[in-house]
């Protein structure tokens, strides 16, 4: 079958937080049926705007929430680290030193994430046509490097203390610092994970999981203090090595998450949801490959659909718009979708048409309609 030429129709966008897929958009839960009907009527009656101002404003609001979480986390972990550092100086505990170094590194991860959020506020331009959301992925790399450096420091100090044993003092203060570290990290972990999931930030969720593990490693310091209390001098550096191992597990998990984001990985369940949504759209005779990627906090999608060959351009465009609506309604955090239409010859198989065009790259943005 000869490949058809395609012309882009107008760009058709939605506004996060006000239309589809934004934080304020709900189809279930407490929303009444009357409210849902009203929203649909308003959605049909009021034309969509096509400028980028609303998208930038919505992204800025999301980034402000992320920034607030980062700075509050920085303050809490900074205070926790300061308390632990004082006890380290007084007691000479290697296990507590390792925990303190790790907490300090965790607090400082707010800096690259903060820079990424600030960059993410910038509007897209002719060079960065998708905007600056990828800065958050670069911040994830910095965070992974920071975790790795803290593991190296903790391991070096623990091995040095095993080779040159020394007594630790102020055991009750060390125990108190360990509990303080756990409480501070667990609070920060809950806060970061909750906000990260709300705004769709994989880096912030990963950082929250990192903080949660830090909390449990803080409790491990209690074991070192207990061993020292009964006269086992090696207990403190051994716990320091155990903390290093825990940091390495965190490093593995964080590196995997950052790698997946850099490789445009998405949850396969989201793809299945998109395919199901497309199959329910009236006029869609077949669906092709669905592609998704994260750009900062938002998802973008590209897909191919097959429509009847006798449709006019306007009719095919309406089906493409309906398909885009269905995708943005069905997939959380999806803020833009490119829908490419193709047609079947009489009596041909829609899947064969899609397979014929399967390797053709999709358009960059908007809704694209086949011209027949």
Among the ranges given (6-10, 190-194, 205-209), the one the predictor scored with the smallest mean pLDDT: 6-10
Among the ranges given (66-80, 85-99, 156-170, 323-337), the one the predictor scored with the smallest mean pLDDT: 156-170
- For residue 46, pLDDT over 70 is answered with no
The tens digit of pLDDT for each residue in 109-143 reads 777 877 887 887 788 899 988 888 888 888 888 88
Band of pLDDT at residue 237, cut at 50, 70 and 90 = confident
Q: CB pairs under 8 A, 24+ apart, for 118-127?
A: 118/63, 118/67, 120/59, 120/63, 120/296, 120/297, 121/56, 121/59, 121/60, 121/63, 123/52, 123/56, 124/52
Q: Which residue has the higher pLDDT, 190 or 229?
A: 190
Name the 3-class secondary structure at 58.
helix
What is the token pair recorded at 191?
């806060």
Q: How many CB atoms lie within 10 A of CB 88?
A: 24
Q: How many CB atoms lie within 10 A of CB 286?
A: 18
- For residue 84, pLDDT over 80 is answered with yes
What pLDDT, on the 0 to 100 scale, is given for residue 321?
94
In the chain, what are the domains?
53-262 (1.20.1510.10), 266-372 (3.30.70.1350)
The mean pLDDT of 210-215, rounded to a whole number, is: 77
Q: Rg (Cα) of the chain, in Å, rounded? A: 26
- For residue 1, pLDDT over 80 is answered with no
> Residues with Cβ < 8 Å from 277, sequence gap 6 or more?
326, 327, 329, 330, 331
Q: How far apart are CA 184 and CA 126, in angstroms?
A: 44
What pLDDT, on the 0 to 100 scale, is given for residue 59?
42
What pLDDT, on the 0 to 100 scale, is given for residue 45?
34
The tens digit of pLDDT for each residue in 256-283 reads 888 888 898 999 999 999 999 999 999 9
Per-residue burial over 233-255, b = 16 or more CB atoms within 10 Å of its CB, e = otherwise: eebbbbbbbbbbebbeebbeebb
The mean pLDDT of 81-102, rounded to a whole number, is: 84
Name the 3-class secondary structure at 261.
helix
What pLDDT, on the 0 to 100 scale, is given for residue 9?
39
Among the ranges given (181-195, 328-342, 351-365), the one the predictor scored with the smallest mean pLDDT: 351-365
Nearest to 208 by CA among 69, 26, 368: 69
**Please, what is the average pLDDT of the chain?**
75
**Is 335:21 a contact under the CB 8 Å cutoff?**
yes
The mean pLDDT of 294-322, rounded to a whole number, is: 90
Q: How far apart are CA 328 and CA 303, in angstroms?
A: 13
How far are the Cα atoms of 38, 45, 49, 64, 263 from residue 53, in angstroms, in the given order?
25, 21, 10, 17, 29
**Is 102:217 a contact under the CB 8 Å cutoff?**
yes
What pLDDT, on the 0 to 100 scale, is given for residue 351?
57
Could you tell me where the beta strands, DSSP code E, fall in the chain? 6-8, 286-295, 298-307, 334-343, 368-370
**Is 125:103 a contact under the CB 8 Å cutoff?**
no
> Torsion angle, CA of 50/51/54/58, rounded to 10 degrees?
90
What is the token pair recorded at 11?
């760009």
- For residue 181, pLDDT over 50 is answered with yes
């Amino acid at each position: 079958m000869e490949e058809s030429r395609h012309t882009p129709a107008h760009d058709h966008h939605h506004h996060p937080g006000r239309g589809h897929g934004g934080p304020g958009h709900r189809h279930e839960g407490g929303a009444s049926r009357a409210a849902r009907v009203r929203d649909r009527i308003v959605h049909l009656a009021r034309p969509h705007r096509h400028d980028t101002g609303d998208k930038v404003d919505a992204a800025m609001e999301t980034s402000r929430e992320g920034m607030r979480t980062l700075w509050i986390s920085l303050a809490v972990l900074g205070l926790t680290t300061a308390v632990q550092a004082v006890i380290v100086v007084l007691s000479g505990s290697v296990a507590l030193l390792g925990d303190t170094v790790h907490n300090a590194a965790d607090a400082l991860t707010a800096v690259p994430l903060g820079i990424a959020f600030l960059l993410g506020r910038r509007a897209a331009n002719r060079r960065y046509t998708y905007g600056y959301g990828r800065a958050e992925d670069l911040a994830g790399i910095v965070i992974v490097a920071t975790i790795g450096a803290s593991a190296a420091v903790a391991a070096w100090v623990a091995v040095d203390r095993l080779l040159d044993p020394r007594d630790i003092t102020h055991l009750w203060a060390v125990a108190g610092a360990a509990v303080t570290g756990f409480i501070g990290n667990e609070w920060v972990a809950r806060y970061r994970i909750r906000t990260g999931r709300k705004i769709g930030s994989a880096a912030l969720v990963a950082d929250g999981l990192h903080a949660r593990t830090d909390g449990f490693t803080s409790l491990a310091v209690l074991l070192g203090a207990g061993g020292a209390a009964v006269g086992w001098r090696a207990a403190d550096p051994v716990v320091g090595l155990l903390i290093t191992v825990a940091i390495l597990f965190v490093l593995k998990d964080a590196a995997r998450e950052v790698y997946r984001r850099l490789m445009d990985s998405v949850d396969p369940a989201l793809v299945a949801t998109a395919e199901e949504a497309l199959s329910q759209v009236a006029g869609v005779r077949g669906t092709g490959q669905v592609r998704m990627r994260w750009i900062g906090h938002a998802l973008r999608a590209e897909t191919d659909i097959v429509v009847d060959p006798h449709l006019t351009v306007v009719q095919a465009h309406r089906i493409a718009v309906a398909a885009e609506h269905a995708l943005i309604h069905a997939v959380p955090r999806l803020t833009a979708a490119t829908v490419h239409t193709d047609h079947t010859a009489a009596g041909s198989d829609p899947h064969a048409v899609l397979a014929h065009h399967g390797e053709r790259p999709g358009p960059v943005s908007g809704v694209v309609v086949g011209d027949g």
